[in-house]
Amino acid sequence: ASTQPGLELLEAVRYVRTYPFGCVEQTVSSLLPLVAARSLPAGALLPADGGGRRKAGRAPDPHEEMSRGWLSLLRRQRPDGAWGFWDRRSEASPYCTLYVAHLAGLLAEDAALRQVLEAEDSSAAVGRLFSYGLETFVTDASVEPAWAGPGGGGGPVLSLRAMALRVLPALLRFQRPALRRKWEAELARAAEELFGRWKEAPGILSAEALAWLAIGLGRLQLAEAAAQAAAALASRCVVQSEGWAEVAEDYGTRHFAELVMLHSSARSDAAALEALSALLPREAELPRRLAAGLLRRRARGHWGSTSADAAVLLALARHFGAMSLREPDCSPR
């Protein structure tokens, strides 16, 4: 296997960043590799020749490209703070709105890229986004019956709530201190409530949504609940005889197609990798095996869609960065 993770990911980066249609989802997906690249060595995402050597060229300026992409997204924000699939006249899309919030949260956590969000217009837009996300996905119980899944037991609303609990904590820094404490307590309350519901009925959350919830619990300092969610997520992973691992999820019989937005098995594995890399001990084998499984499952260098590619790129880059850029040893033991 290559010892240069950036080379492993180049084709997926090219695919995501050159996909032509430019809807909100694809715009966000095209920007996420710029965040992922910051976990890799300088120049890791430059093209390489056939022998694995970097071609001469200039690495993209992440701040310049992110600023341009973020400005494009701001122009499409609806007055209520949400995003649709195309422009500000589009119907509000819960998934697109939270996907933009995910990007904003990643920028907020990155000291070098955070200034993209700190301009006056951008800061106001993030404030509207946070308010919309909090009210729509966390505190407004009235939407739940309308979005209930098969049999009324779960459904998109719970997946959306789990995703919101993953991405909104990073945006608390843009709230005034008094409001920050208030909203952090509200997010923690909602996370504990969803965790309790999942404990009573584990089938209400897909593996991907459980990964989102586990990350959110960790970010909200609910360590014991985060550890329990991570352990349950790990139990949903299957290690194959060759040593790689994947999430065992049956979208058909469990109706998870209704529970996960733009779902894919690769994106579920990426969410599990991100959560378990963050919450399991550093020496744990399972994240390494999930990373190996994702690399093994590429087709023509990527994972089949812009959202899946972006999720996998981010999870793998963070994993490789945390592992000091060493690929996993995935030989059977």
Identify whether 12 is part of a domain: no
- The stretches of 110-206 forming alpha helices (DSSP H) are 115-118, 120-133, 143-147, 156-167, 177-200
**pLDDT band of 48, cuts 50, 70, 90:** very low
* Residue 200, burial from CB neighbour count under 10 angstroms (0-12, 13-18, 19+): exposed
**pLDDT band of 331, cuts 50, 70, 90:** very low
pLDDT value at 72 more than 80: yes
Give residue-wise pLDDT tens across range 154-188: 457 788 899 999 999 999 998 999 999 999 999 99
Which is nearest to 184 in space by CA: 170, 198, 197?
170
Element (H, E) at 201: none
What range does the domain containing 234 cover? Answer: 19-42+62-145+152-321
Phi, psi of 66 (to 5 degrees): -65, -40
Identify whether 1 is part of a domain: no
Phi, psi of 36 (to 5 degrees): -60, -40
Segment 127-148 shows an average pLDDT of: 76
- In whole angstroms, what is the distance from residue 194 CA to residue 228 CA? 13
* Residue 180, burial from CB neighbour count under 10 angstroms (0-12, 13-18, 19+): middle
- In whole angstroms, what is the distance from residue 261 CA to residue 321 CA? 28
pLDDT on residue 252: 46
Segment 48-63 shows an average pLDDT of: 54
Identify whether 6 is part of a domain: no
pTM of the shown model: 0.86
CB 224 within 8 A of CB 214: no
Top-confidence residue, 258 or 233: 233
Counting residues of the chain whose pLDDT is more than 90, the rounded percentage is 54
Which residues does residue 247 pair with via DSSP β-bridges, in sequence order? 237
Amino acid at 129: L
- In whole angstroms, what is the distance from residue 322 CA to residue 325 CA? 7
pLDDT value at 192 more than 60: yes
Segment 78-84 shows an average pLDDT of: 96
Query: Rounded to whole angstroms, what are the CA distances from 305 to 17, 74, 266, 310?
Result: 12, 24, 10, 9
Identify whether 14 is part of a domain: no
Identify whether 76 is part of a domain: yes
CB 29 within 8 A of CB 306: yes
pLDDT on residue 293: 96
Give residue-wise pLDDT tens across range 5-44: 555 677 777 778 777 678 999 999 999 988 887 766 555 5
Identify whether 53 is part of a domain: no
Identify whether 326 is part of a domain: no
Give me the CATH number covering residue 305.
1.50.10.20
CB 195 within 8 A of CB 227: no
pLDDT value at 151 more than 60: no
Q: For 75, how many CA atoms within 13 A lie in the half-sphere containing its CB?
A: 9
Please give the tally of structural domains in the chain: 1
127's tokens: 């404030």
Three-state DSSP class for 26? helix
Segment 88-116 shows an average pLDDT of: 93
pLDDT value at 91 more than 60: yes
- In whole angstroms, what is the distance from residue 108 CA to residue 94 CA? 21
Top-confidence residue, 304 or 48: 304
pLDDT on residue 22: 85
- In whole angstroms, what is the distance from residue 188 CA to residue 190 CA? 5
Identify whether 55 is part of a domain: no
Q: For 129, how many CA atoms within 13 A lie in the half-sphere containing its CB?
A: 33
pLDDT on residue 153: 42
As a whole number of Å, the CA-based R_g of the chain is 19
- In whole angstroms, what is the distance from residue 199 CA to residue 74 CA? 38
